[in-house]
Structure 1
Amino acid sequence: MGTAPAIASAVTFVWLGMVLAISFLEAPLKFRAPDVTLRVALGIGRIVFRALNAVEAALAVVLVVVLAVDRPDVGGLVTLIVAIVLLLAQLVAVRPRLTRRSDAVLAGADAPRSHAHHVYIALESLKVLALLIGGILLLAG
């Protein structure tokens, strides 16, 4: 395995690990912590997800550059492009709706639950699958 595929594999699995740790471990657990109110959990979540999404965007840029330098097999390339497109969908289409709801809740309004949260989770789950498959295909390639 050359340098570019090794970097792409490492970046893919670091990205995957971060999403699994934050989205599927930290995020749900903070709402179960004793004495943590919805407002506090949302405030923490906004900060954590803003940071996660910034790191994800940086990792996606690194992947694009590395994959442009040394293009992997079609399967690996397509699955990683899918992961990047899913991230963009989350950032552009879903996060603004989630932010509006959390703004309202943090301001003390009784905002109804948002279906955007379920969309975000579905996109996050698909992104995990794309990163896992893409990472495996990079290693196998």
Structure 2
Amino acid sequence: MSYIRIWVHLVFATKNREPLLTKEVRYKVYEHMIENCKEKSIFLQTINGYTDHVHCLISLGRAQTISKVTQLIKGESSFWINQNQLTTNKFMWQDDYYAVSVSESNLQAVINYIKNQEVHHTKKTFDHEVQEFVKIYGFSVLK
């Protein structure tokens, strides 16, 4: 039997980073994403975010790719948000996303970071956070 554990910290934002994920909306969306991931055999360890983005800690299965898992989470959730009219305008995620591997030794730190997004973003904007990611990991800026 194969044993695979590949942890990925996945972050994606609303189209144009519009603050559409109000507190009421985002918790409904998170609950739905959790159920959707279970149905699609995506191991979602932790999820949280703020008004314009979502953080997920996932463990990839042996036949899963980051792009496919991301597509399943984002595509289905935007469809569900629109179907349930959780926003006044059509909801969309931006095309880009951020994904980095997480080592077992840093797992709890990433879980805590994701769980504390609301407090974190009272001190730091998502734009500032993106700039830190760019600096640390050498990424191009997400638009």
With structure 1 as the length reference, what TM-score do the two structures score? 0.28
Q: Which has the higher helix share?
A: 1
Bigger radius of gyration = 1
Q: Which has the higher contact order (CA 8 A, sep 6+)?
A: 1
Q: Which has the higher strand share?
A: 2
With structure 2 as the length reference, what TM-score do the two structures score? 0.28
